[in-house]
């Protein structure tokens, strides 16, 4: 079947369309797909359909700024299968137009106002073939429907999202009790659900694969929540008030569960066997495209390097891991982001880091919609809050950022805030695509590797608060992309001259200190100590110049507006 499509959504860097829509659009009688989302029509009206666009099957006007009056015309699009109205802040009072959309399978009303007074009107008009209902942030709070859903709709629906609606009581969820075995995904995040609201509503959901219950008021254990569900792949219970020992999930889902998030609860004791990977490892070693979330302490598990060679992003940040960095971490050839910061890790940095070949090659793994699809397992062992879904937190230029679509562009090693000792292994300079190494706040000694100029892609380098000594390598002047530098150590001698390094007197790191401050024996135009001819006898610092650092700081913050 021929598909006629018109996509006017702005690209990532393009300006949105503005103004009004020309009525000539209605002349496209064979149009099947029309995408107008993320433009700015500033409240203007859509031209009167008047029997036009009758073949339209997909309509996306999310965040488009069109007048709410378009709702009155939607009933004319009788062949519509996909409708996205999200982000328009409409106050939807009547749903009569839904009655005529008998082929509709997907409707997205997110960030419009439905309200509990109009909820029953919506339910009564929902098409019988609807498969996906998106009602996030629609003003549904309190008691919205005290009776279960009936009819074909309840038996065919596969995805329901009513997150961020402040649903509170068990009565607010009774409408879910007749949802049949076809439901695969249910999102109840960011409501005020309490434990008493939960038991019983999942008992008929025999095909439920993804259940999101984070950011509610759930307490005690979770056995009564799950009942006999044996099909779950995703279970998110983070940001609740669960207490006591880590719960055992029903035995029947051990082989199917891929995402298990318990962040921001008050649980303690050993994790269930299947999340610690004790016993049989085979089922999990075959998982190469899923996100897994754990909480852990003690020694870093040796099996990470031995049994999971496809890891691309590994975060062990902010836990109580101790011991050494094992050599088997060097087997992770696909690793792009390695974060073991803020732990109690000791010993030396393995010299075999040059085996992390993905950090030396330009290959970027395949991503779609923010989620990593191939050759990827993401482990996030975090004691502090962290969302695993489609996001990665990366420490970049002294700050933490969350990235989604572009994490494949990063090559990052973060070993900061540990107890590492010894020298920086020279092998790290063979990771030619490395963008942001952070080795700060350890006990590292020795010199900065002389051939650091091999890291041509370096944009951020933080070696501060160690015991490094000697001179800054003159080769550092070749790092033309470097825009953040923090070298607070025991360095001496002349700071290499280059256009790039001349600007580093203005770069700021945590604490608002200048990039080279703290190295009392450094000299050069970038600091307040002037070099002698042989740069072995630096003159005394000029404290008046030091005070002028505020000017540079203001310049730096102006540059930071651009952001990454």
Whether residue 337 is predicted with pLDDT greater than 90 in this model: the reply is no
- Residue 416 resides in a domain: yes
Across the strands, what pairs with 347?
420
- Residue 524 lies inside a defined structural domain of this protein: no
If you average pLDDT over residues 289-317, what whole number do you get?
63
Quote the CA–CA distance of 186 and 197 in Å, as a whole number: 15
Determine what percent of the chain is predicted with pLDDT higher than 70: 68
Give the pLDDT confidence score for residue 501 in this predicted structure: 59
Q: How large is the average pLDDT for residues 488-513? A: 61
Identify whether 436 is part of a domain.
yes
Tell me: pLDDT of 451 over 90. yes
Q: Any idea what the CATH number is for the domain that residue 422 is in?
A: 3.80.10
* Greater pLDDT, 465 or 545: 465
Spell out a b/e string for 150-159, using b for 16 or more CB atoms within 10 Å of the CB, else e: eeebbebbbb
Cα 375 from Cα 441, distance rounded (Å): 32
Name the residue with higher pLDDT: 436 or 176: 436
Binned at pLDDT 50, 70 and 90, residue 482 comes out as confident
* Domain-embedded: residue 45: no
HSE on the CB side for 259, CA within 13 Å? 21
Domain that holds residue 350: 281-446
In a domain? residue 387: yes
Residue 441 in contact with residue 464, Cβ under 8 Å?
yes
Give domain status of residue 385, yes or no. Answer: yes
How far apart (Å, rounded) are the C-alpha atoms in residues 419 and 322?
A: 9
- Per-residue pLDDT reduced to its tens digit, 25-53: 999 999 999 999 999 998 999 999 888 99
Q: What is the pLDDT of residues 144-201, one digit of tens each?
A: 555 566 555 677 889 999 999 888 766 667 777 777 678 999 999 998 887 666 666 7
String of DSSP letters for 73-107: GGGG-TT--EEE-TTS--B----GGGGG-TT--EE
DSSP single-letter state for residue 518:
T
Q: Does 307 or 279 have the greater pLDDT score?
A: 307
pLDDT greater than 70 at residue 126: yes
Q: Which two tokens stand for residue 515?
A: 């990039």
**Least confident stretch, 10-14, 317-321, 487-491:** 10-14
Q: How many other CB atoms are there within 10 angstroms of residue 7's CB atom?
A: 10
49-81: per-residue pLDDT in tens? 888 999 999 999 999 999 999 999 999 999 999
Q: Which run of H or E residues covers position 211?
A: strand 210-212
Using the structure block, give the residue that is written with the tokens 């797909």.
33
More confident residue, 106 or 559: 106
Tens-place pLDDT, residues 344-354: 999 999 999 88
pLDDT tops 50 at residue 384: no
Residue 363, domain member (yes or no):
yes
Can you give the pLDDT at residue 74? 94
The pLDDT of residue 214 is above 80 = yes
- Residue 411 domain flag: yes
Rounded CA-CA distance 375/166 in Å is 38
pLDDT at 475 over 50: yes
Taking the C-alpha atoms of residue 422 and residue 432, their distance in angstroms, rounded to an integer, is 23
pLDDT, residue 268, reads 64
Please give the pLDDT value at position 145.
Answer: 58
What confidence score (pLDDT) does residue 67 get?
A: 94
Return the higher-pLDDT residue of 224 and 167: 167
pTM of the model: 0.60
Q: How many domains does the chain have?
A: 1
């Amino acid at each position: 079947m021929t598909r006629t499509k018109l996509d006017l959504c702005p690209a990532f860097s393009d300006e949105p369309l503005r103004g009004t829509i020309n009525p000539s659009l209605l002349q496209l009688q064979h149009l099947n797909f029309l995408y107008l989302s993320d433009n700015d029509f500033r409240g203007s009206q859509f031209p009167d359909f008047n029997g036009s666009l009758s073949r339209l099957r997909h309509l996306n006007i999310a965040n488009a700024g069109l007048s709410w009056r378009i709702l009155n015309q939607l009933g004319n699009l009788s062949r519509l299968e996909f409708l996205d109205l999200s982000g328009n802040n409409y106050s939807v009072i009547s749903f009569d137009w839904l009655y005529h959309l008998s082929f509709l399978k997907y409707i997205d009303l997110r960030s419009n106002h439905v309200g509990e007074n109009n909820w029953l009107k919506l339910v009564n008009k929902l098409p019988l073939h609807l498969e996906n209902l998106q009602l996030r942030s629609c003003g549904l709070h309190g008691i919205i429907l005290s009776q279960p859903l009936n009819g074909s709709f309840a038996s065919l629906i596969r995805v329901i999202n009513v997150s961020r609606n402040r649903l509170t009581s068990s009565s607010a969820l009774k409408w879910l009790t007749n949802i049949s075995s076809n439901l695969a995904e249910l999102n109840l995040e960011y409501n005020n659900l309490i434990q008493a609201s939960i038991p019983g509503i999942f008992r008929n959901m025999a095909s439920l694969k993804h259940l999101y219950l984070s950011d509610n008021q759930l307490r005690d254990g979770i056995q009564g929540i799950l009942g006999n569900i044996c099909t779950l792949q995703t279970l998110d219970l983070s940001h609740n008030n669960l207490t006591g020992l880590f719960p055992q999930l029903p035995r029947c889902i051990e082989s199917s569960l891929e995402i298990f998030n318990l962040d921001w609860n008050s649980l303690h004791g050993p994790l269930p066997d299947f999340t610690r990977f004790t016993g049989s490892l085979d089922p999990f070693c075959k998982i190469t495209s899923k996100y897994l979330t754990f909480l852990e302490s003690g020694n870093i598990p040796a099996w990470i390097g031995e049994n999971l060679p496809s890891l691309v992003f590994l975060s062990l940040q902010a836990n109580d891991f101790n011991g050494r960095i094992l050599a088997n971490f060097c087997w992770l050839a696909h690793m792009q982001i390695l974060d073991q910061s803020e732990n109690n890790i000791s010993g030396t940095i393995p010299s075999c880091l040059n085996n992390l070949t993905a950090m030396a090659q330009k290959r970027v793994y395949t991503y779609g919609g923010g989620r990593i699809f191939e050759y990827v397992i993401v482990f996030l062992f975090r004691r502090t809050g962290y969302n695993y879904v489609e996001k990665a937190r990366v420490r970049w230029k002294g700050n933490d950022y969350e990235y989604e679509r572009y994490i494949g562009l990063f090559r990052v090693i973060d070993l900061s805030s540990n107890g590492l000792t010894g020298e920086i292994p020279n092998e790290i300079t063979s990771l030619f695509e490395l963008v942001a190494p952070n080795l700060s706040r350890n006990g590292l000694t020795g010199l900065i590797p002389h051939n650091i100029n091999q890291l041509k892609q370096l944009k951020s380098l933080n070696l501060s608060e160690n015991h490094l000594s000697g001179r800054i390598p003159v080769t550092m002047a070749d790092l033309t992309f470097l825009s953040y530098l923090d070298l607070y150590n025991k360095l001496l001698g002349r700071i290499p001259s280059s256009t790039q390094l001349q600007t580093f007197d203005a770069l700021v790191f945590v604490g608002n200190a200048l990039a080279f401050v703290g190295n009392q024996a450094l000299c050069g135009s970038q600091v307040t100590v002037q070099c002698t001819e042989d740069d072995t006898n630096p003159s005394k610092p000029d404290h008046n110049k030091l005070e002028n650092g505020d000017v540079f700081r203001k310049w730096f913050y102006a540059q930071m507006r651009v952001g990454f």
